Amino acid sequence: MVIEDEQPFCFGEKPDFRKFMSKACPRFQFPSRRTCTRDIVRHYFEEKAKLKKFFKDSCQRVCLTTDCWTSQVQDGYMTVIATFIDENWNLHKKVISFFMVKGHKGEDIGKNLTRCLADWGLDRVMTVTVDNASANDSGVDYLRRQLQETNIAKGKFLHMRCAAHIVNLIVRDGLQEVDLSIKRVRAAVRYIKNGTSRLVKFKEIAEEEKVDSKAFLKLDVPTRWNYTYLMLKAAIVYEKVFLKLAEDDTNYVIDLSKARDGFGHPDEDDWDNAKKMAQFLHHFHDLTVRISSSLQVTCNTFFHEIGEVHLLIQEWLNSEDNLQVSMGMRMKEKFDKYWGLWHTNSKDNDRQQQEQDRDKGRSKGRGKEKEKDKDKENINLFIFVAAFLDPRYKLSLYTKISVEEIFGEERCQLVWAAINTCVRELFEEYRNMYATSEETTQVIDANQSKGGAGGMLKEKIAKRMKLSNCSTSTNKSELEKYLAEETEDTEKKMDILG
């Protein structure tokens, strides 16, 4: 109970709990805080040993997610989450490390990740998902160098940028166009919620205006746009009440006025902007909920969500409303930075040169070049590889049209060729990794067949079948067989791990 409900170790010493248990189960022995601490720490190490054994014996690859933040008392913290699939194809997510850090510099992040992996005996990492802070780029580069021998595709796709964070950056750029309107609505909501008499008067006006809503006003967190959406959604219902309040309550107008260092109270234009923004943010809110799910696999549908973002922005760019066009332009710029453009001279192609310069001590003075490379970084192709592994999409026309919608007709051919090349190279890499045991089995079978009855006949028949191309179907690789099968219906609900 202490673990499941996240109760303090001293919970067993609480007087109310002891009183309750004395009636419910008089024979219950109350554990002390020391007993709770000892038992839980022992249980932690037992579970850690089991997980380490699983990582060593049964786990092929793990995907890491990490983030850093600073507490109110200026202490730095870092957490590392491992996501993996067990032998029964069940998805797991485990917090494998949570610790204090001295700094948030790139090399510090990389060293902390390396120490964490060493502690768990992990060296087979598929991807590392981080937000878009520049320090994380350096941290992942450091980790890439440490995992040279076990990286897939030489670590080219190790760095996975957090999709939810990119959506957050895109939306926040768009919100800047209506920043004043949002600030006024926020100030109005705060004014109402900061006094009991104000709440009473607000509810009286709501009854007069016949506003019937179970949901009431919510105050947002300015740095979290999804909370801004929820605030706007709730406040829009009470638009008439706020406008009536501005007529009846002079204190409301004065307190929010610029004379009191405020932004002014929201007028009809501000409410029009709020409605437009709430309608638009509704799509992004639902999209963020979908891609943030941790109880099911979502990577196979990421390309869908990226396409949705592109179409939403495009719709605003084509609008006749100047505000929507301005917001769309801001958001398109950020979208293109991370997802919407394809560069033939990406930073992946220049990484070897950077490493050579670093080894020669010429890394100084390349800061500006590094920033330019970041702007020219391509989307991680694992997003499309995950879609390829979904029987509904594969490398079908459906997937190709999706790529064309995101990148445009001109760049689509380049991206599509890169996706095909990536898929086939990954297949060959995995086949080479696991070919040893298969080839050994084939050699043993061949030796047994030669020594057994009919061995010469079988060998001769096999040669003639090969010459007459009769065995073409049996010589197809698993990749070719998979691609040759028809795709499933795209509307079909499917558990990709099932």
d(CA 346, CA 361): 23
Whether the per-residue pLDDT at 455 is higher than 50: the answer is yes
For residue 466, give the DSSP letter. Answer: H
Average pLDDT over residues 178-191: 90
Q: What is the pLDDT of residues 288-300, one digit of tens each?
A: 888 888 788 888 8
What pLDDT, on the 0 to 100 scale, is given for residue 440?
A: 42
d(CA 354, CA 360): 10
256 closest CA partner among 179, 184, 182, 181: 184
pTM of the model: 0.79
273 closest CA partner among 174, 163, 374: 174
Q: What is the pLDDT of residues 86-134, one digit of tens each?
A: 988 999 999 999 999 988 888 999 999 999 999 999 999 999 999 988 8
Q: Which residues pair with 65 in a beta bridge?
A: 81, 129
For residue 473, give the DSSP letter. Answer: G
Which tops the pLDDT comparison, 128 or 31?
128
Angle 163-373-156 from CA coordinates, rounded to 5°:
60
- Which helix (DSSP H) or strand (DSSP E) does residue 181 occupy? helix 179-193
Whether the per-residue pLDDT at 471 is higher than 70: the answer is no
Q: Which residues pair with 81 in a beta bridge?
A: 65, 95
At 450, is the pLDDT very low, low, confident or very high (cuts 50, 70, 90)?
Answer: very low
What pLDDT, on the 0 to 100 scale, is given for residue 399?
A: 93
- DSSP character string of 228-281: HHHHHHHHHTTHHHHHHHHHH-HHHHHHTSGGGT------HHHHHHHHHHHHHH
What pLDDT, on the 0 to 100 scale, is given for residue 161?
A: 93
Which tops the pLDDT comparison, 482 or 354?
482
Q: What are phi and psi of 497, to 5 degrees?
A: -90, -15
Q: Is 210 helix (H, G, I), strand (E, B) or coil?
A: coil
Handedness of CA 304, 152, 498, 388 (dihedral sign): positive
d(CA 313, CA 327): 9
Q: Is residue 481 within 8 Å of residue 387, measured between CB atoms?
A: no
Angle 336-380-481 from CA coordinates, rounded to 5°:
125
b/e per residue, 170-188, with b = 16+ CB within 10 A? bbbbbbebbeebbbbbbbb
d(CA 90, CA 92): 7
At 445, is the pLDDT very low, low, confident or very high (cuts 50, 70, 90)?
Answer: low
For the chain, give the mean pLDDT. Answer: 84
Residue 22: alpha-carbon gap to chain centroid: 48
d(CA 471, CA 461): 11
Q: What is the pLDDT of residues 153-166, one digit of tens each?
A: 999 999 999 998 99
| Cβ-based burial of 361 (10 A; exposed 0-12, middle 13-18, buried ≥19) | exposed
Q: Is 100 helix (H, G, I), strand (E, B) or coil?
A: strand
Q: Looking up tokens 């990148």, which residue turns up?
A: 407
What pLDDT, on the 0 to 100 scale, is given for residue 66?
A: 94
Q: What is the pLDDT of residues 312-338, one digit of tens each?
A: 999 989 988 888 898 899 999 999 999
Q: Is residue 64 within 8 Å of residue 125, measured between CB atoms?
A: yes
Q: Which residues pair with 160 in a beta bridge?
A: 129
Q: Is residue 65 within 8 Å of residue 129, measured between CB atoms?
A: yes
Q: Is residue 143 within 8 Å of residue 158, measured between CB atoms?
A: yes
Q: What is the pLDDT of residues 333-385, one digit of tens each?
A: 999 999 988 988 645 445 544 554 554 454 444 455 555 555 578 999 999 99
Length of the chain counted residue by residue: 498
Whether the per-residue pLDDT at 140 is higher than 80: the answer is yes
Which tops the pLDDT comparison, 366 or 199?
199
